[in-house]
Each structure stands twice: as structure tokens, then as C-alpha cells.
Structure 1
Amino acid sequence: MKRFIAKSIFLPLSILYGLIIDFRNWLFDNQLLPSVRPSVYSISVGNLTVGGTGKTPMVEFLIKRYWSSVYMTNASIATLSRGYGRKTRGFRVATVDDTAATIGDEPLQIHRKFGKQVRVCVGERRVEAIRLLLTHHPETALVVLDDAFQHRAVHPHLAILLMDYKRPFYDDYPFPAGRLRERRKGAHRADVIVVTKCPMNLWEAEQQRIISRIRPYTGSETPIFFAGLQYGQPVSFATHQPVADLKNVVLVSGLANADPLENYVRQAYGMQKHVRFADHYAYTRADLESILTNRPDGSVVLTTEKDWVKLDDLLTAEERSTWPLYYLPVAIQFLAEQESAFLAFLTTHKQLTKA
């Protein structure tokens, strides 16, 4: 009841906010504000909802897909995001010396996993960032734009829109009554939609019901796919190797929506408790010591990859080798037989779209 009352109070503000964003989009749509199509093939990954739709796993999926492509060569792929939460400004290419404070936690995660295959970049002014990237690295053949669906100054060749299965945009409202960054009709700019964090056994009838709810906001031919999350084996902070038979864990997370992760860890690893922090939380040494000191006897600490890169920087080499700290890799996993169709769509779209 309280939630209904709060939504009713904020709904007029949501309508006003939505209209302001509509006007901004109208300016871009009518070329009254400039929108630049990059000279290099570009893919935007984004959402309508604030946080928590699986953008980073999708970016990693694209990295793996295109890096294995026959037409890609070494260092020809780049990722670009604004670097949310960093304390620096301007265009920056990740190096081994960077931290979450200098490039942001998610770019740092990607750099530590794929730094030898891709060039990880940050820059809040993305048109300028792409120009600088191509000036210094003209061999770049693909730029993956992370969290760029509302960044209208760049007109990507392919726009991928993600929607959380449990937080569909068609049931939501713009801020502050809801969690949408713009009104639902913004989905019409998507070239493809992926419904993320789905149960892997999602029935075909339920998929069709969701498609029918999405379709009023998209083009009639816009492909819609369904995917879940696949968690890997926990990895040791000390050895960077997967471990088996991990039990009695204290889960530590700083995510926009940690519920799917909590449900999985509770079932798979005997979760003792879950210490939650805000999304993109900047951990301190005191936070780490509190987590370790207050954990139940015999338990270990399990966290996410995004949180690992920040917590790991707080450790000495000796602490890293002796303290029971692990992180849980996660990847996007398409529902049965949909991955091949999605990959075929990516290939066809790139062939049809001239950079």
C-alpha cells in the first residue's frame, strides 16, 4: 500500500521527466542535436532500466564472439564506457597500472580478463573518445559501447537493448516513480532485444507472452532473444584458479540487483549470510577487515568479479595468499538454440551495415 501511494505521488514527476527526455530524443531524431555515426563498426549495449540488466556479461560475450571471428586481428577490438565511479576525467586507455578509481570497476574487470585481446577505453565524451581512439589506434575494427543506449551523440551501427526478465520495462515507469531512464517507447531504437536473467527452463509460451508485451514498443521485425546467467566455478584471489567443493560462504556484493546471485549462491554453496553494498561501491580497507572479522567460523568470502577487482587492490601479497577470498565468474547463456540464431543475426547485420 505504501509503495502504491509513493508511486502515485511521484507519477506526475515521472510524466514530466519522461516528456523532457522525449524532447531530447526528438532533437536528436530531427538532427537538431548532432548524432555521429562512427567510421568504425560500433555496437551499443544498454537498457531502459537503471542498472542490473547484465550489460557487462553481454559485453564480454561480444568480445569473445568477435575475437574468435576470422576477420578480427590482434588489438582490433576496443570497448568504450564512461567509466562510472572513476575519479579521473577525459579519454583514457586502460593499462596494467589502472585501478577502479582511475577507469571504473567494470572497465577494470574487462581489462583484467581481456586486456591482451581488446583495448579497454573510458571517456565521458564518447564522440571525442572514439576520434582519439582511432587517431592513436587506426587498426581498430570494432568498438563496443557499454551502457550507451541513451548516449544519443553516438549513432551506433547496432543497438542491443537488454531487459531484466524480472523487471520488464513494459511494467515500469520513468524516474522517480519507477526505474526507467526514459519512456518505454525508447525501445523502438533497438536493433535487437535480449531478455536477460531468465530461468534456463523458461517455457516457450512464457517467452511468447513476454514478446507480445514488448512488441508494442519495438519495430515489428526487431528480433527478441532470451538468455540467463551461467555461473562458473569460484576462483581463488591467490591463485586465480577455480576451486571445487566450496562451502559455508559469506557472499559480498555491490550490485544494482543482487537477488539472482544470492539465490544461486544460497543453493550452490551453503550461504551463511550476504553482505550487500550499493552498486559500484568503493570498498575501503575497513570494509574488508569488517567482512573478514565478522564472518562465521569456518566460512570463506565469495564475491563477484566486479567486486573482486576493487577488494583485491586492498590486499598485500601475503594477505592475498592466506585469506579465504574467492570470486564467482558469470557469463551470459542463451536459452536452447537461441545462441546460434543470435550469432547469425550479428553476422548478417554487420554484413548489411556499412561502417
Structure 2
Amino acid sequence: MIFLRYILFPVVPVYYLVTWLRNRLYDLGIKKSTAYDFPVICVGNLSVGGTGKTPMIEYLVTLLKDDFLVATLSRGYKRKTEGFQLANKDATAESIGDEPFQFYNKFKNDILVAVDANRTNGIKQLRSIDDQPEVILLDDAFQHRKVKAGFNILLTTYSNPYFKDVVLPTGNLREPRSGSKRANIIVITKCPNDLSDAERDAILKKIAPETNQHVFFSSISYSNNVISSNMTKSIEALEDFTLVTGIANATPLVNFLSEKELRFEHLNFKDHHEFSKQDIVELNKKELIVTTEKDFMRLKQYESLQDKLFYLPISVVINDTEKMNGLIRDFVKTKL
């Protein structure tokens, strides 16, 4: 795969030019974007792969849900339905996608969860319901330029920041690095807990943020417990188990569990893996399974796994929570 990417390097300038031109047409107003007079916050990235969008959306939900009626809007990647869908008690990972299903399960009494590949239509549909949301959070919509979000949060990982990358197909960037200038906030995600001030300064120098941009650093905080559909266990109490992951980068999770000196085998599937019947047959042979919350949403439907399937919750820790929360709250208040 890596060799193929290098072979395709001559395509990089073509991809760069096409995506740059598309953005330029939007910037000049030749291609039209829809702006809104209420708070629309976009969380996205420049690269393919996992940068931590799901926990960031959950961070924003937790920040805003007690004071405002919040809705999340995702495209519903790999769902089996089409068009606009508003999550309800009959929703599944197949009907709305695994990440939105995770949002719904965690916050169903507090927020609205919707999916639509056409974000403009999704926003229109959300605002047409009787109990319309005051704030809409767009999940993975940074390149969806037909919607002009009032506030953009751009995520990039510590291990593979966008300023060290190139566009597809040789690199991982969906668009040129210059796209970062659209962000109000840039968050370097999945940082080590011991990140030094000197290293932060070096990263800031590479990013060279505009005067209106703010840069934050975040890390992952893992829970001390794993959770199933009907019980909770301490991580320290786990003995031999099977770790099942279907995410873009499982390395931080594997490192965390290894540092705990836990004994486990790791079944590592590709991101958004659709578990087959044979996969479930094999998993049924395992005595104890620990997985991510996103994978748990896809696997919990299988009754045969109910008593052995647990997920490890995670949360986002921001280096300057007060400042970041203040910026987001100030934006919401000025738009309402």
C-alpha cells in the first residue's frame, strides 16, 4: 500500500490543484455556501483517518447541552439508509452509522442526533421540527463547503500533523494545508501527557496561526473501568482478554493497556469494520472482549456477546479548558 502511494506521487499535483481550485471558488463566492444566523459549529480535519472527531463532538455536547438545545449532524458513514434520518428509539448503527448511534446512546435524553449526507438539507430539516435545535454541531464537515459554519474546529494528531503531510494519494490530506486557515480553533489531538512547553512552542511555530486563530493541545483520558450493557468492571480486575478494535489508529489504546501490564490478544480490524457472521462466530469463542465505544455500538446487537463484551470509555482533556470553553460559549451567545 505504501509503495503504491509513492508510485501515485505524480497524481499529487493534480489532486492538489483540483482541491485548491474548489476551495478558491468558494472563497471568492463563485461557488455558493449557505451561512446561518444561528450557531453552527463544524468539527473536522484535513486528513483521512482518525483525529478524534467523535470525542470532540462529545466534549462540545457536554459543554453546551445544559444551556442550549443541541443537535449533532453527521453524514452517517456506512449506514444502510439514505437521506435525512433523526435518531429515535428504533435507531441502530446500521440505520444512522456507528458514531451518531454512539451520540444517541450517550445523550439521547439531552440532544437531537441526525444524519444526512447533504448537510444543507440536514440543517433545514432540523430547523423545521417543532422543538428546533439552537446549536447544531457538524461532525466531519470541514470539506463540506456548501455549508458555511460560523465556527470551525480543526483537529490534527500529534503523531501525524497536517503540516508534515501532503495531499492524497501519496499523503493523507483531503485538501492542501492552506485549508487550515478556515479554522477558528486548531486542536493538536492525542498528545502525550508529558508534552513539554518547548515541544508545544515548536508545533505552534510550524502551524503559524493567524491572529484570529487559537491553538490548543489535547490528550486522551481513559476510564478506570470497562462497561458492558449491564455491568461495570475495573480495568485492574481484568485478566486475559481479547481487545477488538475497528478504528483508524488503535496504537494509543494498545499502549495504554500494555502500560497497565494487562494480558490480552489484539484483533485489529480496519476503521468502520462491518463485522461478518464469521467474525461473530470467532468472537463467540472468546471468554472476555474489550473494545472501543464505537465498536461496541456495532457489536452489542449480538445477544451471544452480551455477557462478555465491554468497552473502555475515553474523554478529551484540553490544555486550556477555560479559554477554549470561553471561545465556544462566546460564539454561541453572539449568534443567539
TM-score, length-scaled by structure 1: 0.90
Deviation at 1:98, TM superposition (A): 1.2
For residues 332 and 301 of structure 2, what CA distance do their matches in structure 1 show?
39
Q: Which residue identity is paired with 1:300? A: L
Q: Which moved more, 1:24-33 or 1:234-243?
A: 234-243
1:182-331 paired onto structure 2 within 5 Å: 182-215=175-208, 218-244=209-235, 245-268=237-260, 270-293=262-285, 295=286, 300-315=288-303, 320=306, 323-331=307-315
For residues 49 and 30 of structure 1, what CA distance do their matches in structure 2 show?
24
Deviation at 1:10, TM superposition (A): 2.2
Q: Which residue identity is paired with 2:315? A: A
Aligned counterpart in structure 1 of residue 42 of structure 2, from 41, 44, 48 = 44
Deviations 1:91-137 (A, max 9, x none): 01001111111100000011000011010000011111111111114
Residue 273 of structure 1 aligns to a residue whose secondary structure is strand
Seen in structure 2, the aligned counterparts of structure 1 residues 275 and 11 have a Cα distance that, compared at 3 Å, is same
For residues 139 and 261 of structure 2, what CA distance do their matches in structure 1 show?
31
Contact 1:251 1:271 in 2 (8 A): no
Contact 1:43 1:160 in 2 (8 A): yes
Contact 1:252 1:302 in 2 (8 A): yes
Contact 2:126 2:132 in 1 (8 A): no
5+ residue gaps, structure 1: none
Q: Which residue identity is paired with 1:131? A: K
For residues 224 and 77 of structure 1, what CA distance do their matches in structure 2 show?
25
Seen in structure 2, the aligned counterparts of structure 1 residues 158 and 137 have a Cα distance that, compared at 3 Å, is farther
Q: Which residue identity is paired with 2:109? A: K
Cα RMSD after superposing both structures: 1.8
- How many residues in Structure 1 have an aligned counterpart in Structure 2? 335
Deviation at 1:206, TM superposition (A): 0.2
5+ residue gaps, structure 2: none
Q: Which residue identity is paired with 2:243? A: L
Contact 2:39 2:331 in 1 (8 A): no
For residues 258 and 265 of structure 1, what CA distance do their matches in structure 2 show?
11
For residues 347 and 142 of structure 1, what CA distance do their matches in structure 2 show?
11
For residues 300 and 11 of structure 1, what CA distance do their matches in structure 2 show?
44
Residue 80 of structure 1 aligns to a residue whose secondary structure is strand
TM-score, length-scaled by structure 2: 0.94
For residues 233 and 109 of structure 2, what CA distance do their matches in structure 1 show?
21
Residue 331 of structure 1 aligns to a residue whose secondary structure is strand
Query: 2:56 corresponds to which residue?
Result: 58
Deviations 1:6-36 (A, max 9, x none): 5543222111111101111111111121101
Residue 255 of structure 1 aligns to a residue whose secondary structure is coil
Q: Which residue identity is paired with 2:207? A: I
For residues 296 and 288 of structure 2, what CA distance do their matches in structure 1 show?
14
For residues 242 and 77 of structure 1, what CA distance do their matches in structure 2 show?
32
Residue 282 of structure 1 aligns to a residue whose secondary structure is coil
Residue 145 of structure 1 aligns to a residue whose secondary structure is strand
Q: Which moved more, 1:152-161 or 1:276-285?
A: 276-285
Identity of aligned residues (%): 36
Query: 1:333 corresponds to which residue?
Result: 317
Query: 1:349 corresponds to which residue?
Result: 331
Deviations 1:142-177 (A, max 9, x none): 000000100001101110000100011111111110
Aligned counterpart in structure 1 of residue 167 of structure 2, from 171, 174, 178 = 174
Seen in structure 2, the aligned counterparts of structure 1 residues 226 and 292 have a Cα distance that, compared at 3 Å, is same
For residues 195 and 348 of structure 1, what CA distance do their matches in structure 2 show?
22
